[in-house]
Amino acid sequence: METLKVVKISGNIIDNDAELTSFLKEFASLNGPKILVHGGGKLATELSNKMNVPVKMIDGRRVTDAETLEIIMMVYAGKINKNIVAKLQSFGCNSVGFSGADGNTIIAKKRPVSTVDYGFVGDVVKVDIMVSKLLLNNNITNIFSAISHDQKGQLLNTNADTIASELAIAFTEFYQVELYYCFEKNGVLESIDDNDSVIEQINQETYQKLKKSGIINEGMIPKLDNCFYALEKNVSKVCIGKSNMLFDQQSSYTTIQN
Amino acid sequence: METLKVVKISGNIIDNDAELTSFLKEFASLNGPKILVHGGGKLATELSNKMNVPVKMIDGRRVTDAETLEIIMMVYAGKINKNIVAKLQSFGCNSVGFSGADGNTIIAKKRPVSTVDYGFVGDVVKVDIMVSKLLLNNNITNIFSAISHDQKGQLLNTNADTIASELAIAFTEFYQVELYYCFEKNGVLESIDDNDSVIEQINQETYQKLKKSGIINEGMIPKLDNCFYALEKNVSKVCIGKSNMLFDQQSSYTTIQN
């Protein structure tokens, strides 16, 4: 089977135009079918501040009222997504931008209100890759913003890590899928302040130990749970690190293994 | 040849959520391949005002500095485009939203500075319908926001009427193409204040007379020039009127003929 790369980028690349351009130039030159997934939280917060819309975060997740959802749509699906697509075109990489509503691709359910009301936040219930696959088959790269929809006309703010893993899983039927979570650090670190202390491989057993010892804690736990979930669902490779792990064989990063 | 409908909607539909929903419900049920084109000038102006970005119009065209372009991207390609796609999905019409950068579809050149500097405004130089056609062939409706790109990474604000006519023309190789310009009036009117005074047919000869007599004046001239240009380039039918011309055989509207 052909290899599909699903790459999720985060703020350190998105928020800096020079970083983004340099990343996209290399990304454009990657061989084979590929999907890019992005959010854009910091730029959304900036626009919220400009528009005097209060920003409310709970456990690192954005509470998304109607005004905030509109900001998410504008910043993720408008500004960032189209900027990425236009830059990729300039590097000769034909691409199409998606929200989860486009092609009916990412179907979600508004998160039920429990102790917290997250507002217009969606939990993925189904992925339909028909359109995405059609485009990949025709050598068109897909750029997904972290937005889903409920098939009833409601768009929903959705975690970008989850969108990446759900897309990766959905494509395992047709491709050997590799999932790359790019962030600002070189990988999962033994010592949070030492970027050279990369743990090169983590499996379920070492994961449990690293959690117990507190080396892997709050913010990283949902990310790693996502990784193991993807592996269970037949994604063949999951990596965490700086984006140069995609382009530079010598770079160190963390590989998650079952 | 199969018939393709290219439909451009304007502010009276876009700016009102109930109007938009009711239009999209009917649009979703139209048989055959279809493309929708939208701008969103009034909502862009609203956001500019909220963000204290000055709005400058010359002859009805928006001067587009870098901040205004960002607003255009956010409002057209983010908020409006994704809202339309999500609503169409809810009506069972599978669709994908495009800017002109997506699929490298609408390629433009930044308008040269003459007496006026319009800023990041693009004049269309080439249309590549490869991706758009691939999706139409697979029963996926295309929703275009009025944004083009220069293939060097720059997005450009572009007249929605022009994008509609250029797409219509590009598809004449593969379809019998009908082009519908929907706006707030019943058609081209004999008397501007009488919505019942629709001129049902206009050809080149009557167009010249109507211009001379002043019945067709400033705002309508570029619109009608677009229509005649499309007809010259093999678009088979061009109509102007309220959107119900698409759904109601009894409604009156203006047909432009060569």
Q: Which residues of A touch B (CB under 8 A)?
A: 21, 47, 50-51, 70, 73-79, 81-83, 85-87, 89-90, 94-99, 101-104, 130-131, 134-135, 138, 140, 147, 149, 151-155
Mutate to test the interface with A, among B49, B102, B140 (most CBs of A within 10 A): B102
pLDDT value at position B174?
98
Residue carrying structure tokens 């409601």: A154
The DSSP call for residue A6 is E
Q: Which residues of B232-258 are buried (b: 16+ CB within 10 A; e: fewer)?
A: eeebbbbbbbbbebbeeeeebbbbbee
> What is the pLDDT at residue B213?
94
Residue of A247, A248, A228, A246 whose CA lies nearest to A238? A228
SS3 B115: coil
The three-state secondary structure class of B125 is: strand
CA distance B29 to chain A (A): 16
| Count of other CB atoms within 10 angstroms of residue A162 | 21
The model carries a pTM of 0.97
Residue among B86, B96, B140 whose CB faces A153 most closely: B86
Whether the CB-CB separation of B253 and B198 falls below 8 Å is answered with yes
Decide if pLDDT at A89 tops 90.
Answer: yes
Place of tokens 């790269």: A141
Structure confidence by residue, pLDDT tens digits, A149-192 = 999 999 999 999 999 999 999 999 999 999 999 999 999 999 98
Contact status, residue A226 vs residue A178, Cβ threshold 8 Å: no
Could you tell me the two tokens for A126? 């189904």
Distance between CA atoms of B38 and A131, rounded to whole angstroms?
22
| Residue among A94, A99, A151 whose CB faces B82 most closely | A99
Q: What is the pLDDT of residue A218?
A: 81
- Whole-number pLDDT of residue A59: 81
With a cut of 50, list the residues of chain B below it in pLDDT: none
Q: How far apart are CA B177 and CA A115, in angstroms?
A: 54
- Please give the pLDDT value at position B258: 85
Domains of chain B: 3-256 (3.40.1160.10)
pLDDT for res A61: 87
Mean pLDDT of chain A: 96
Q: Which of A176, A219, A216 is nearest to A197 (CA)?
A: A216
Range name among A56-65, A82-91, A93-102 with the lowest pLDDT average: A56-65
Smallest CA–CA distance, residue B21 to chain A, in Å, is: 9
pLDDT of B192 reads: 86
ipTM above 0.95, yes or no: yes
Distance, in Å, from the CA atom of B7 to the CA atom of B34, rounded to the nearest integer, reads 8
- The nearest alpha carbon in chain A to B53 belongs to A50
**What chain A residue is nearest to B95 in terms of C-alpha separation?**
A103
Q: Which of B20, B72, B74 to mutate to test the interface with A (most CBs of A within 10 A)?
A: B74
Q: How far apart are CA A40 and CA A48, in angstroms?
A: 12
Query: Is B104 close to A82, i.e. CB distance below 8 A?
Result: no
**Per the structure block, which two tokens stand in for A33?**
């079918």
Could you tell me which residues of chain B have a Cβ less than 8 Å from any Cβ in chain A?
A: 21, 47, 50-51, 70, 73-79, 81-83, 85-87, 89-90, 94-99, 101-104, 130-131, 134-135, 138, 140, 147, 149, 151-155
d(CA B225, CA B216): 11
* Contact residues, chain B, for A92 at CB < 8 Å: none
